[in-house]
Amino acid sequence: MRLHRNLVDAVVDGFLQINNDGLYADKVIERLLKRDKRWGSKDRAFIAETLYELIRYKRLYTEIAQEKAPFTVQSTRRVFAVWAVLRGITLPEWYFEGTPERRIKGRFDALSKERAVRESVPDWLDALGVKELGEEVWTRELHALNQQAQVVLRVNTLKTDKAALQAQLSKEGYETAPLEGLPDALQLEKRANVFLSEAFKQGLFELQDAASQRVAPLLLGDWTPAQGSLKVADCCAGAGGKTLHLASLMGGKGKIVAMDIYQQKLDELSRRAKRNGAFNIETRPVEAKYLKRQRGSFDKVLIDAPCSGLGVLRRNPDTKWKLTPEFLDQIRSTQAQILEQYSQLVKDGGQLVYATCSVLPSENQQQVQRFLQSAAGQRFTLVEEHQIWATEGYDGFYMAKLVKNEK
């Protein structure tokens, strides 16, 4: 691989913005890729993938380089040099002279013996993972979470079907393969920016990880549009990935109320819904008066709860550097409050799905059990629950389905 100065400079700049300024990696990369219109797809891929790799293994690379925050341009270049040497990439003379390749490889061998350094997580998070999952499971899961995420699409069946979409994408130069057990999923065989495709602009698909695509079908169960209209609430809708999947599965029928505390996310959901041709979605900011009026009125309720995000470290590796023990305590408390609050929307005989993109039992199974033992959860019964591990090849995810018993 031949390194180009302007591309390396972009990676170094991005590393500084993420680590010194505390900016989110995906937003930094999005801006960096617009810096030079002359960059081709390979150039942009190098910047994005290299920067994610430096963030993913930040602890390992910085300890090998013996550099600490706050980082400078020179110290970041030394961290980059570690990445290059470990991949057998020759550093050009314009980079800097005297890179200690033997010392880098020796420190890599020595430091890799410690899991927290090898997989690059803070010591407190490594200890928590062992406490909640055990040494063996945590070691496997942590390693899997450091692998690059696959690009998975979800067919928008409101506008097309899998075969037609696969054929159109192939004509545009994007080869895909179906995924077993997921009727609406297609996986890119080679990483590419599918947002540039005409198929995306036409609203024929959305990007949605394979694990995430299991949530909406779990909530709807064996229901079909022929059985009549449904009233569904997506209580932590965000920008609407699962809302749009619900709309697709519901054939555009019935009503979905998508709620969130952030109006800008609901605005983005509305834009996506228009592109998807999903017109059975109503967006609403969370309001106490509305929740009170709607108690016991929804057939099905989805709570895709805010969480640590540990299950999606593949695509958001900077999350592990932003997490703190205090934040985790706070988010567990928030999850419990959300379960108690939004479960009141479920009508008698209705169903609730609680989901997170975390692998920690304290955010998942233990939250559900705590809810079932509370006054708010006394009338609910756990029907089924699923823990999806990153070792299965995709995001780590948890989902539990509960039914509200008739009086």
DSSP for 66-122, written as a single string: T--SSP-HHHHHHHHHHHHHHTTPPPPTTT-S---HHHHHHHHHHHTTSHHHHTT--
- Give strand ranges (E) for 238-307: 255-260, 281-285, 298-304
Q: How many CA atoms lie within 13 A of 86 on its CB side?
A: 21
Residue 25 forms beta bridges with which residues? none
Angle at 40 between CA 36 and CA 45, to 5 degrees: 95
pLDDT at res. 227:
84
Enzyme catalytic residues? 357
Query: What number does CATH give the domain 5-120?
Result: 1.10.940
For residue 170, give both structure tokens. Answer: 């192939």
Residue 254: what are its φ and ψ, rounded to 5°? 70, -155
Q: Are 153 and 185 in contact (CB under 8 A)?
A: yes
Q: Which of 182, 183, 165 is nearest to 174 (CA)?
A: 165
Query: What number does CATH give the domain 212-404?
Result: 3.40.50.150
Per-residue pLDDT of the chain (407 residues; tens, 9 = 90+): 889 999 999 999 999 999 999 999 999 999 999 999 999 999 999 999 999 999 999 999 999 999 999 999 999 999 999 999 999 998 988 877 778 999 999 999 999 999 999 999 999 999 999 999 999 999 999 999 999 999 999 999 999 999 999 999 999 999 999 999 999 999 999 999 999 999 999 999 999 999 999 999 999 999 988 888 999 999 999 999 999 999 999 999 999 999 999 999 999 999 999 999 999 999 999 999 999 999 999 999 999 999 999 999 999 999 999 999 999 999 999 999 999 999 999 999 999 999 999 999 999 999 999 999 999 999 999 999 999 999 999 999 999 999 999 87
Residue 257: what are its φ and ψ, rounded to 5°? -100, 115
Q: Look at the block and give the residue holding tokens 């609430």.
A: 233
Q: How many CA atoms lie within 13 A of 90 on its CB side?
A: 4
Quote the pTM value.
Answer: 0.95
Per-position DSSP letters for 364-402, written without gaps between them: THHHHHHHHTSSTTTTEEEEEEEEE-GGGTS--EEEEEE
pLDDT at res. 391:
97
pLDDT at res. 110:
98
Tell me the domain boundaries of the chain. 5-120, 152-207, 212-404
Q: Cα separation of 109 and 100, whole Å? A: 15
pLDDT at res. 205:
98
Query: What number does CATH give the domain 152-207?
Result: 3.30.70.1170
